[in-house]
Amino acid sequence: MSLNFGFFKTSLRIICANRLAATGALIILLFVLLALAAPTMMRLHLLGDPNQLNLNGLDKDGMPRSPGHGYLLGSDNLGRDVLSRVIYGARVSLLVGVASMLTATLIGVTVGLLSGLYGGKLDLALMRFTEMNLTIPSILLAMAFTSLIGDNGRIMHLHPAALPWHFLDVTLKRGLLSVFLVIGFVSWPGMARIVRAQVLGVKEREFVLAARALGASHWRLIWRHLLPNILPTVIVLAAMTTANTILLEAGLGYLGIGVPPPAPDWGTMITEGQPYFATAPHLVIVPGVAIVLTVLAFNVLGQGLQEQMGPRQRP
Amino acid sequence: MLTRLLTRFWWSAVTLLGTAFLTFLLVNAVPGDVARVIAGSKASAEVLQEIHLKYHLDDPVLQRLGFYLIQLAHGDLGHSYVTDQSVAEAILIRFPTTAALTSLAVVMWVALAVPLGVLTARFRSSWFDRTTLVVATVSLSLPAFWLARILQYCLAYKLGWFPVGFFRSFVDLLLPAATLAILMVGYYARLVHTNMVEVLDSLYVRAARAKGASETRVLFKHALRNALIPVVTMLGMDVASLLGGVLFIENVFALPGIGNLAVQSVLNLDVPMIMGTVLFSATLVVGANWVVDLLYGWIDPRIKSAS
């Protein structure tokens, strides 16, 4: 599994070959670009400050402004620019979504590989553990985890500045770490099961048996033979898992246990907008549409990739 | 068959015990003084001390876990820290609401998903199939809390077709159930579709057609029955976890169900209630797996004879 330029060229060709996959990828790309450009757009005054409380943002009764009156997507109950908050929210959603997807994939693929490859008692133990994780509601796991590794957690004290995503701005970093770890830790069991099933299938194919007979080490077996063969499945699952992690992140935000408040988060925005639904429905509709579009894009990408790479699924 | 079921039962018990173990450790790792949750923020040090003694809060976690498991073995789930209500009672009072909501929704989404899945598999790659695919994908991309709010606003508040914000009878469950059904139907339509496509390519379907069986008979009698096996598995799991609480929809529609109870207990740090709702939901999921295993034999006789 060599990650050279050819790999990306192949991926690009696969994505372009399928209309669904291309559409999904395009929408994701748009959101990523917007998210990346947000601070620059703010500096150029194309976009308001997402956290700046602004009296001009409220009408004469002190209510949120509806879309159009100087604010493209209106303003919220504190006079903040909704457009700016939605775009900054994309940074949170995409970052947490992708980071937790990577966490889930790492755990899921490892557990599935070990379980499928070694079988026996290890398989039994790992699959029982997977099942236990499937039976606990994710929101509760999320609560407990958040308090374990959160900013004021007592077990681990990880300061965001010590982490690789140091280049992101401060308002974003608070609480991000715990939220994505939490979502990653609750999203892997499905992945583990499917990877295990795939490994069980590939393991018995002739080329793996041949490699074994030739005395290939387990590492070589995993890296050269098993992983490349389950890669298409993992990629499809990864796209669909990202859709779910983004939904879960929004859900946690909605319940008030997601990324903490000053940071613009789509789920939190919907909770904050709810009391104003009757007079200012855009406060609920806009962030909701953003969630649906992003999640839909990842689902459609996964769907398209599956059609393109797994001919058995949809001939 | 019996041995297999017994083995499965034994493993289910082990899984549940493991779940209890994991949840207890996680819930008790939550920082924040539980005594303050019980007594309120203005409680004096003596009162806090008393509560610590009463609930054995200073004992080692493993010892408390042991006590909890013994208590469980006696069929006692404990009492809420916040309301002092019996946890089992609180769950049982709320169960009918959640059960009614779930069953209503299941009927709706299965009635819609099965025909959609079968027809899209029959007319594969037609415009009907592609449209259904897109709609199904939208359905599984909707956040539950958002869809619930929007539907509540448009259909109940604006148009007045449904009552807003309170719960009297079965009729009031129609909109919440429809919301839940909308969220689930996409996934199930695709699941039925994928399995039908696979089955329709098989030799016995060709044989049935060659024999001159009518198209309806081929689709629903020969193909669907085989395509349903993985669907039933998923349905069992999903229904069980929904019966354990429909978190967001109960929350938005203010229904007195288990999902609302779970959210409240998590936000209140009501440890016995959290444990109770989690174990209740886990038991349902594990039990559903067991029942699905039983059903397999009925749907597919080959499985029965194979074991």
Cβ A220 vs Cβ A248: under 8 Å? no
Top-confidence range, A68-72, A258-262, B44-48: B44-48
Q: Is residue A12 part of a domain?
A: no
Which pLDDT tens digits describe chain B residue by residue (307 residues)? 678 778 888 888 888 888 888 888 877 766 566 676 677 667 777 877 877 777 777 777 788 888 888 888 887 888 888 787 888 888 999 999 899 999 999 999 999 999 999 999 888 888 888 889 889 989 989 999 999 989 888 887 778 777 776 666 777 888 899 999 999 999 999 899 988 988 888 888 888 888 888 888 888 888 888 888 888 888 888 888 888 878 888 888 888 888 888 888 877 778 888 888 888 888 888 888 888 777 776 766 665 554 4
What's the pLDDT score for residue A291?
94
Q: Is residue A40 part of a domain?
A: yes
What's the pLDDT score for residue B183?
92
The dihedral over CA atoms of B80, B84, B87, B89, expressed in degrees to the nearest 10, equals -160
Q: Is residue A299 part of a domain?
A: yes
User: In terms of pLDDT, which residue wins out, A264 or A76?
Assistant: A264
Nearest to A306 by CA among A225, A238, A226: A238
Predicted ipTM of the assembly: 0.84
Nearest to B253 by CA among B178, B147, B166, B184: B166
Chain B environment of A292 (Cβ under 8 Å) = 138, 141-143, 146
Distance (Å, whole) CA A85 – CA A268: 11
Q: In this structure, what CATH number is given to the domain that contains residue A258?
A: 1.10.3720.10
Looking at A108-122, A128-142, B7-21, which range is the least confident one?
A128-142
Cβ A38 vs Cβ A95: under 8 Å? no
Cβ B245 vs Cβ B261: under 8 Å? yes
Nearest to B234 by CA among B113, B126, B130, B69: B113
Task: Find the domain containing A264 and state its range.
Answer: 19-54+70-313
Chain B environment of A131 (Cβ under 8 Å) = 15
Going along chain B from its start, the domains and CATH numbers come out as: 2-73 (no CATH), 87-306 (1.10.3720.10)
What's the pLDDT score for residue A147?
56
pTM score? 0.85
Contact (CB<8Å) B248/A247: no
Q: Which two tokens stand for residue B286?
A: 């594990």
Rounded to an integer, the average pLDDT of A117-146 is 79
Q: Is residue A2 part of a domain?
A: no
User: In whole numbers, what is the pLDDT of chain A averaged over residues?
Assistant: 79
Residue A9: which pLDDT band, with cuts at 50, 70 and 90?
A: confident
What's the pLDDT score for residue A158?
43
Cβ B140 vs Cβ B186: under 8 Å? yes
Q: Please name the residues in contact with B153: beta carbons below 8 A apart, sequence gap of 6 or more.
A: A277, A278, A281, A284
Q: Is residue A63 part of a domain?
A: no
What's the pLDDT score for residue A181?
80
Q: Is the dihedral of CA A92, A94, A95, A96 positive or negative?
A: positive
Chain B environment of A147 (Cβ under 8 Å) = 29-32
Distance (Å, whole) CA A119 – CA B124: 38
Distance (Å, whole) CA B115 – CA B107: 13
Closest partner CB to B149 (pick from A247, A284, A296): A284
* DSSP helix/strand/coil, A291: helix
Res A196 pLDDT > 50: yes
Contact (CB<8Å) B266/A139: yes
Three-class DSSP labels, chain B:
CHHHHHHHHHHHHHHHHHHHHHHHHHHHCCCCCHHHHHHCCCCCHHHHHHHHHHCCCCCCHHHHHHHHHHHHHCCCCCECCCCCCEHHHHHHHHHHHHHHHHHHHHHHHHHHHHHHHHHHHHCCCCHHHHHHHHHHHHHCCCCHHHHHHHHHHHHHHHCCCCCCCCCCCHHHHHHHHHHHHHHHHHHHHHHHHHHHHHHHCCHHHHHHHHCCCCHHHHHHHHHHHHHHHHHHHHHHHHHHHHHCCCHHHHHHCCCCCHHHHHHHHHHHCCHHHHHHHHHHHHHHHHHHHHHHHHHHHHHCHHHHHHC
Closest partner CB to A136 (pick from B22, B197, B251): B22
What's the pLDDT score for residue B244?
81
Q: Is A199 on the interface with B (CB under 8 A)?
A: no
Please report, rounded to a whole number, the percentage of residues in chain A having pLDDT higher than 90. 16
Q: Is residue A10 part of a domain?
A: no
- Count Cα neighbours of B118 within 13 Å in the Cβ-side half-sphere: 19
Closest partner CB to A132 (pick from B18, B27, B32): B18
What's the pLDDT score for residue A106?
94
What's the pLDDT score for residue A42?
78
Q: Which two tokens stand for residue B237?
A: 């799991």
Cβ A257 vs Cβ A271: under 8 Å? no
Cβ A215 vs Cβ A273: under 8 Å? no
Chain B environment of A250 (Cβ under 8 Å) = 143, 146
Contact (CB<8Å) A278/B141: no
Closest partner CB to B143 (pick from A132, A247, A303): A247
User: In terms of pLDDT, which residue wins out, A199 or A158?
Assistant: A199
Closest partner CB to B150 (pick from A137, A288, A312): A288
Alpha-carbon gap: B116 to the closest alpha carbon of chain A (Å): 16
Q: Is A194 on the interface with B (CB under 8 A)?
A: no
Nearest to B153 by CA among B258, A267, B145: B145
What's the pLDDT score for residue B303?
59
Chains A and B form CB pairs within 8 A to the count of 127
User: In terms of pLDDT, which residue wins out, B145 or A309?
Assistant: B145
User: In terms of pLDDT, which residue wins out, B26 or A152?
Assistant: B26
Q: Which two tokens stand for residue A105?
A: 């994939």
Into how many domains does chain A fold? 1
Contact (CB<8Å) A128/B245: no
Res A61 pLDDT > 90: no
Alpha-carbon gap: A298 to the closest alpha carbon of chain B (Å): 9
Rounded to a whole number of angstroms, the CA Rg of chain A reads 22
With tokens 């209106």, the residue in question is A74
* DSSP helix/strand/coil, A155: coil
What's the pLDDT score for residue B155?
84
Distance (Å, whole) CA A96 – CA B213: 53
Q: How many CB atoms lie within 10 A of CB A82?
A: 29
Contact (CB<8Å) B29/A256: no
Between the CA of residue A242 and those of A14, A100, A304, B228, what are the distances in Å?
19, 8, 15, 28
